[in-house]
Every structure is written in structure tokens, then in C-alpha cells.
Amino acid sequence: MHLSVLTVGILLASTVSAAPPKPELRPMFGDIPAIGSNAWLSMDCDGEPPYQTLNCRFIQTSISRKSDAEVAAGLAKDRESLSADLNGLMKENTKRCAVAHLSDWRKKLAAASTQSTEARNRADTMVLEQYEAACECKTPQCVVEAYLKMREIIAKTCHISTNAFEVLFTRMNKKKWINQPRPSGICNVVTAVILERQDDTGVMWTYTQTRVAVDDDAAVCKGFELNKPLTFTSGGSSAVVLDCSGIDTSVF
């Protein structure tokens, strides 16, 4: 009798203490950094537990700047080009430095400044000031240096780009999903993607994409790197330090 009561008590206690399993969090993350690249990735997915399939939307943000070696090489080539025809350079500079032209330029900047930010106004004004500095030159060598300063500012500009895309995943196991690689785009690029949860918190993630094939018959499709993984992972260093003369969203 006592044994039966004890057994029932143990069963009841275990039933009460056993907490229901926590529901699996919907896969998502924000701005995790890339390994070996100044880029970040955010993800938001649609799906129903247990998330055997996921339709995920990604936004990749990248920032780039030419290396100091690339800047120096470009300026050396520019110096050679500008110095090849100093007489022509002086004539072109005189034409650009028409008083009316610079005056109108400054008036337009002043009129637009009230509708722009301080940072954009500084960028526009800096370009004008560089042209004005060139216009004050009395010798070809001075003009060359002024033009090189303009081109150095452009060369050291940091460029920000974003890329939005979607991936359909199928679950492999408790922590890993894969896509179904198929050709896409004008170059028929085939990319394999692996999405992996690092732990049970649902907060730490790793995303890896690898370009495995491309149709490079067309000239525009040549130069793609194959079998070189691009990995974004939680927990890495997210901050970057770049010597930017300015920031632009244009890639041209």
C-alpha cells in the first residue's frame, strides 16, 4: 500500500516538474559580419514550426575603398597622363575656370544647401573648392597637383552598396538548412548556400554561400571566382575603420 502511494507520488511529481519544450524561435538575425570582407548580412524568414522549409529574405550591406597601393598606382598614372600635354592642360583649366561658371556653381550650391544635410553640403563644397584652387594656379605644375588632389579625394571615397535577395531552404537536421542550387541570372550562376544555427538559443548563426558554377561563354560573365566560400557569422568583430575622404552609394 505504501509502495503504491509512493509510486503514484513520484509519477505525479515528475509530471508536474517536466516543463513543456520551448517553441523553436523563427530563424532571423540582424547585421552579422562577414569573414574577410567589409560586409554584413541580415535575415528574416517565413515558415511554420518545425521549419522543414524556410523562405528567407536577406539584405547584404558592403563598404569598400581602394587600398593605399591602388590609390598610389592610380595617381602615378594620372600624373603621367596630366603631364603629357601641359599646354593643353592649361588651356582646359582656363576654360573650366570661367568666372561666370564658378559663380553660377556656387550660387546653385547655396540654393540647394537648405534642402540637404551638412555632410552632403560639405562634399559638394569640397569639390568646388578644389576646382577653385586649380583656377588660382599660375603654372602647369600647380594645376597638375590641384587635379591630382581632386582625384585622390575621389580615389579614397568609400562606397556603400546593398543587395537584397531571397533563398528557399530545406532542413537537413536540427541546426542546418541548405538551398537547392540552380542557375540564376544572365550568367547562370549556381550558388550553394548553408544556413546553420550555432546553438539552441536561436540567436547565433552562420551563413555560407559558395559559387560553384557559372556560364562564362559571354565576356560579361568571365572573372567569377568559384569554390570560394563567403561566410557571415555571429559573434565576430562587426566594426571597421577605413580612411574615407567621403562616403558614396554610387558604385561608379
Residue 15 predicted with pLDDT over 80:
no
Instruction: Look at residue 100 in the predicted model and tell me its pLDDT.
Output: 62
Residue 4 predicted with pLDDT over 80:
no
Share of the chain above pLDDT 90, in %: 63
Given 155, 184, 201, which residue is the final one in a domain? 155
Instruction: Look at residue 165 in the predicted model and tell me its pLDDT.
Output: 95
Residues 27 and 151 in one domain: no
Task: Annotate the chain with DSSP letters as a single string.
Answer: -HHHHHHHHHHHHHHHH-PPPPPPPPPEEEEEEBSSSSEEEEEEEE--TTTSEEEEEEEEEEEE---HHHHHHHHHHHHHHHHTTHHHHHHHHHHHT-HHHHHHHHHHHHHHGGGS-HHHHHHHHHHHHHHHHHHT--SHHHHHHHHHHHHHHHHTEEEEEEEEEEEEEEE-SSSEEEE----BTTTTBEEEEEEEE-STTS--EEEEEEEEE----SGGGTT---S--EEEETTS--------SEEES---
Mean pLDDT, rounded, of the chain: 88
pTM as predicted:
0.80
Query: Strand pairing of 157-171 and 246-248?
Result: parallel
Residue 211 banded pLDDT, cuts 50, 70, 90: very high
Instruction: Look at residue 200 in the predicted model and tell me its pLDDT.
Output: 84
Residues 164 and 241 in one domain: yes
Residues 231 and 180 in one domain: yes
Residue 9 predicted with pLDDT over 90:
no
CATH number at residue 32: 2.40.128
Residue 21 banded pLDDT, cuts 50, 70, 90: low
Mean pLDDT of 180-208: 93
Given 115, 140, 155, which residue is the final one in a domain? 155
Spatial separation of the C-alpha atoms in residues 89 and 205, rounded to whole Å:
56
Instruction: Look at residue 171 in the predicted model and tell me its pLDDT.
Output: 97
pLDDT tens-digit readout, 76-120: 999 999 999 999 999 988 888 876 677 888 888 888 888 889 988
Q: Which of 21-30, 32-41, 238-247 has the lowest mean pLDDT?
A: 21-30
Give the domain extent around 138.
68-155
Share of the chain above pLDDT 70, in %: 90
Give the chain's domain count.
2
CA distance to 3, 48, 76, 148, per residue, from 145 (Å): 98, 63, 11, 5
Given 125, 155, 185, which residue is the final one in a domain? 155
